[in-house]
């Protein structure tokens, strides 16, 4: 161990609310806080926002609906529709009526996020890490941030951890769990985008037996021939951005802890090797992909699971299965439990709710034990592992972020910590601003039909 000499650091910012992490959670939190009148600062380690949807190239948004109606509305739905409009006329026409598995146009989405956050009045600081939390008992008194400018302190009244990995909470000493009982974690995936594809030829190839079955046979053949490594027999998702450009969520990298730089480094190297193998497979085996060219791989491997905080309430699988509603609901979730295999020899765990049904997400699961002016939103909220496999997706993160940002803005007006917020008033504000909390008195919002999807998703086991 080495002791670092103490140093005097300047205070670089004093917002009402500071948000760390510019993925869907942090984006929605920043927009909500700023729109509700709070002086808001969003800190992001990269030079753009979007999290796994932009940095890791996750090819499509997970469902916004319960199979019958949208359950994720508000800011999240607003941003989805904005991306569809701004991605060009052809893209908009193809996906205008679609709410589930909408492909992500990455560069358009980056710009949409920039514009939406700036328009809200929130400030953004890119290329910056929060590497130390200053504490006074249960209160955070400041964050030490590091960037090219140097080290400085941000002092806010309220702090939102939107890192996805509960980085801020961990630095503050909040207890947490990682993975399963034996420390196993869902694998990561290095997603990528190819050009030069032929969607018509691919559709003809898959039309007779369905994409999943036909591709599964092809993948098994390639594995038997040594052209693909052993492991999963299916592609998680192919998202067609245009008739010649497609995004892939294909294959796994095992044993990756996304909260460790060493693991992320090894996974990046291994992931790029696997992409090269998969491109060769596509050219050789899959009609429509004979001439594809790799145009973009993820800046980092896609991470599905790391820390889960210990909160005031832990959302458990029985809450999911019983479709429970809570008095402090701030969102609804209908996405299925989706736990990817922990090693090449295991199977996926998937469990759906009935069509048209959802469960509540209580405000308390975002409140970390032992801290008063910190809230944690996104995939690292307090839940058991099966429920984390459902809550972790981007639409849900938008909803939780909107609730966290709105709560922070309310407390800026009244003072106190996150446990002091009026739940009925918070729920009322969320509903007024487009969120959906179930069929409650006074709930507004037109139900939209759910069209057929444009991305196939295969299940391996119940």
The residue whose two tokens read 């996805």 is: 164
Would the pLDDT of 459 be above 50? no
The residue whose two tokens read 């995939």 is: 379
How high is the pLDDT of residue 182?
Answer: 82
pLDDT in tens, 110-140: 999 999 999 999 999 999 999 999 999 999 9
At a CB cut-off of 8 Å and minimum separation 6, what does 349 contact? 337, 338, 339, 386, 389, 461
Would the pLDDT of 398 be above 90? yes
Q: What's the whole-number mean pLDDT along residues 312-330?
A: 96
Q: What's the whole-number mean pLDDT along residues 88-110?
A: 98
How high is the pLDDT of residue 456?
Answer: 36
| CA separation for the pair 418, 409 (Å, rounded) | 10
| CA separation for the pair 182, 146 (Å, rounded) | 34
HEC states along 310-378? CECCCECHHHHHCCCCCCCEEEEECCCEEECCCCCCCCCEEECCCCCCCEEEEHHHHCECCCCCEEECC
R_g of the chain, CA atoms, integer Å = 22
DSSP for 86-118?
Answer: HT-HHHHHHHTT--SSPBP-HHHHHHHHHHHHH
Q: For 451, which DSSP code?
A: P
How high is the pLDDT of residue 347?
Answer: 54
At a CB cut-off of 8 Å and minimum separation 6, what does 386 contact? 317, 320, 337, 339, 349, 351
Kindly report which listed range (13-27, 126-140, 171-185) carries the lowest average pLDDT score: 171-185
How high is the pLDDT of residue 457?
Answer: 33
Q: What angle do CA 323, 78, 94 make, to 5 degrees?
A: 95
How high is the pLDDT of residue 452?
Answer: 36
Would the pLDDT of 454 be above 80? no
How confident is the prediction for the chain on average, in pLDDT? 92
How high is the pLDDT of residue 85?
Answer: 98
Q: Phi and psi of 280, rounded to 5°?
A: -60, -40
Q: List % helix, strand, coil for the chain (3-state, nearest 5).
A: 35, 20, 45
Across 301-321, b (16+ Cβ under 10 Å) vs e yields: bbbbbbbbbebbbbbbbebbe
Q: What's the whole-number mean pLDDT along residues 257-276?
A: 97
Q: For 40, which DSSP code?
A: E
> In terms of DSSP bridges, do strands 307-309 and 349-351 run parallel, antiparallel, or are they unpaired?
unpaired
Measured between alpha carbons, how far is residue 315 from residues 303, 312, 460 in Å?
21, 10, 25
Task: Given CATH 3.50.50.60, say whether it is the number of domain 11-181+306-432.
Answer: yes
Q: What's the whole-number mean pLDDT along residues 155-171?
A: 98
Would the pLDDT of 445 be above 80? no
**What is the CB-side half-sphere exposure of residue 197 using CA atoms within 13 A?**
25
How high is the pLDDT of residue 215?
Answer: 87
Residues 400, 361 contacting (CB under 8 angstroms)? yes
What are the structural domain ranges in the chain?
A: 11-181+306-432, 192-297
Q: What's the whole-number mean pLDDT along residues 278-303?
A: 97
How high is the pLDDT of residue 45?
Answer: 98
* Confidence grade of residue 451 (pLDDT, cut at 50, 70, 90): very low
Instruction: Report pTM.
Output: 0.93
How high is the pLDDT of residue 180?
Answer: 86
Q: What's the whole-number mean pLDDT along residues 419-447?
A: 82
Strands (E), 122-270: 123-125, 129-136, 139-147, 150-154, 158-161, 176-178, 192-195, 237-240, 246-249
* Confidence grade of residue 19 (pLDDT, cut at 50, 70, 90): very high
Residues 44, 68 contacting (CB under 8 angstroms)? no
Would the pLDDT of 248 be above 60? yes
């Amino acid at each position: 161990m080495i002791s670092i000499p103490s140093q005097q650091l300047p205070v670089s910012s004093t917002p009402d609310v500071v948000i760390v992490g510019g993925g869907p959670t942090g984006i929605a939190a920043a927009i909500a806080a700023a729109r509700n009148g709070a002086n808001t600062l969003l800190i992001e380690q990269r030079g753009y926002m979007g999290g796994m949807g932009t940095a890791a190239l996750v090819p499509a948004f997970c469902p916004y609906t319960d199979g019958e109606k949208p359950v994720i509305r508000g800011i999240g739905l607003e941003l989805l529709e904005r991306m569809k409009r701004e991605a060009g006329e052809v893209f908009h026409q193809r996906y205008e009526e679609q709410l589930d598995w909408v492909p992500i146009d990455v560069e358009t989405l980056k710009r949409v996020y920039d514009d939406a956050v700036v328009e809200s009045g929130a400030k953004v600081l890119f290329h910056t890490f929060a590497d130390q939390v200053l504490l006074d008992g249960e209160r955070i008194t400041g964050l030490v941030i590091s960037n090219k400018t140097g080290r400085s302190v941000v002092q806010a009244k309220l702090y939102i951890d939107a890192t996805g990995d509960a980085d801020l909470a961990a630095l503050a000493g909040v207890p947490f769990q990682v993975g399963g009982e034996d420390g196993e974690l869902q694998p990561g995936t290095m997603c990528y985008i190819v050009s030069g594809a032929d969607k018509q030829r691919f559709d003809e190839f898959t039309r007779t037996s369905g994409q999943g079955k036909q591709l599964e046979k092809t993948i098994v053949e390639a594995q038997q021939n040594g052209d693909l490594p052993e492991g999963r027999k299916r592609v998680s998702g192919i998202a067609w951005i245009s008739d010649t450009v497609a995004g892939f969520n294909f294959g796994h990298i095992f044993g990756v802890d996304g909260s460790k730089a060493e693991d992320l480094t090894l996974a990046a190297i291994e992931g790029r090797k696997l992409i090269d193998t998969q491109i060769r497979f596509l050219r050789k085996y899959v009609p429509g992909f004979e001439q594809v060219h790799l145009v973009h791989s993820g800046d980092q491997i896609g991470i599905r699971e790391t820390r889960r905080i210990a909160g005031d309430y832990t959302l458990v699988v029985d809450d999911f299965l019983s479709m429970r509603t809570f008095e402090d609901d701030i969102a609804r979730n209908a996405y299925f439990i989706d736990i990817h295999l922990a090693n090449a020899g295991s199977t996926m765990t998937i469990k759906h709710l009935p069509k048209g049904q959802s469960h509540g997400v209580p405000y308390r699961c975002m409140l970390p034990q032992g801290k008063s002016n910190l809230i944690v939103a996104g995939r690292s909220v307090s839940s058991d592992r099966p429920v984390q496999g459902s809550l972790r997706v981007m639409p849900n993160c938008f909803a939780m972020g909107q609730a966290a940002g709105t709560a922070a803005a309310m407390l800026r007006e009244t003072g106190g910590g996150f446990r002091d917020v009026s739940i009925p008033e918070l729920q009322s504000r969320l509903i007024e601003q487009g969120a959906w909390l179930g069929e409650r008195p006074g709930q507004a919002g037109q139900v939209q039909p759910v069209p057929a999807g444009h991305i196939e998703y295969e299940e391996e086991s119940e």
